[in-house]
Every structure is written in C-alpha cells, then in structure tokens.
Homo-oligomer: A and B are copies of this chain.
Amino acid sequence: MEKPHADLTREKILSSAFCEIHRKGFQAASLADILEATGLTKGALYYHFPTKQALGLAVVDEVVRTRLEERIFAPVRGAQRPLDRLVEVIEGIARESDAQGVALGCPLNNLMQEMSPLDEAFKERLSAILETWREVVRSALARAQARGEARDDFDCGAAALFIVAAFEGCIGVAKNMQSVEAFRSCMRQLANFVVTLKADRS
C-alpha cells in the first residue's frame, strides 16, 4: 500500500518552494519561509530532501519542466500545421499573461540566469529543459519545411535557438518594465518573425 499522505506533504513543499523560488530566486529563497507557507517544519523538509540544492533540483525537474511541457512543448509537438501552431502558442502566452505573471517572469529563465554560472547540477538540468524546448521548435520548423508550410532557405536549428532566446528575452524585458502591454507588443514582434519563415504561396 502506498502512502499518499507522505507524497502529499512532499508535493506541498515542492509547490511552496516553487512559489518562493519564483519570487525571490533560489539563493534568496528561505527554507523557513517555504515551510511557513505550508505549516510544516524542517523535520518534514529534510526527511524528503537531503539538502536545499536537492529541493531546488526537484522543483526544476518536477514543477518547472512539467509546466513548460504542458503549456508549450506538448501543444507544439502534435500540431498538423507546426508553424501556425507555433504562432498560436506565442500569441496565446501573450494573451493569457497577467501583471503578476509578467512581473515574476519565466521560472526557467530566472533560474538559468541565477544558477547556471554557480551550480553545475542546476545548469545541466536547466540546460536539458532548454534543449528540449529548442528541439521541439526545431522539429516543428523541420516538419513545416517538409510540408511546404515554411521556406527552406533557413537553418532550423539556428532559427529554433533564436526563437527560444527571443521568447525568453521578451519575458525578461517585460519583467523589468513590469508592463503587460510591452510584453504583448514584444511577443507580437516575435510572432511576426515566425510568420516571415512561412513559404510564399504565389
């Protein structure tokens, strides 16, 4: 028989840690604050996670990755018209974002900027997620090219990397400006760029 109660507290800690890390970053995230939000204590934390780093890595693997998988990767993967779907996803993210979401930024980008130069384990996990993202976009572009939906005079890998980079860049500057409007404008430009990759149907 499994023990649902233990797993539940583990997920409560994970969820609270994600929030705290999203707000303050990993280093500035206080274990005391994370626990206070759950009503638990350090005994619970260190029973489920051996160290703060392990907690952070678990947040990356089980929360950050999952969120991106559901919201971005999955929708693009199974698209019949990959290029159009790519544009839809970009515009969808822009449309659904609110002031708070813009102010906090992308959890993946936040952690990359903070932890990549400091911690090798973080860098590898985050880099893996980024690479899947890039691969999802690259594959979409390649399929679009194969279907004649996209032009075939550009390198899919390089274009995919740029699209992901610009995506995170838009979130980044909008986070600083704390302007939903700026975010949407910026994402619209990115969508326009993707549209320029479409094949001219003459």
Q: Are A126 and B176 in contact (CB under 8 A)?
A: yes
Closest to A134 in B: B173
Within 8 A of B (CB), among A37-95: none
Within 8 A of B (CB), among A160-188: 161-162, 164-170, 172-178, 182, 185-186, 188
Number of residues on chain A facing chain B (CB within 8 A): 46
Q: Are B172 and A109 in contact (CB under 8 A)?
A: yes
Closest to A113 in B: B113
Measured between beta carbons, the chain B residues less than 8 angstroms from A132 are none
- Given A166-B166, A173-B164, A176-B127, A189-B158 contact (CB < 8 Å): yes
Partner of A112, one of B23, B175, B182, B196: B175
Q: Are A161 and B188 in contact (CB under 8 A)?
A: no
Q: 1/0 per residue A97-121: CB within 8 Å of B?
A: 0000001110001101110111000
Q: 1/0 per residue A145-168: CB within 8 Å of B?
A: 000000000000011011011111
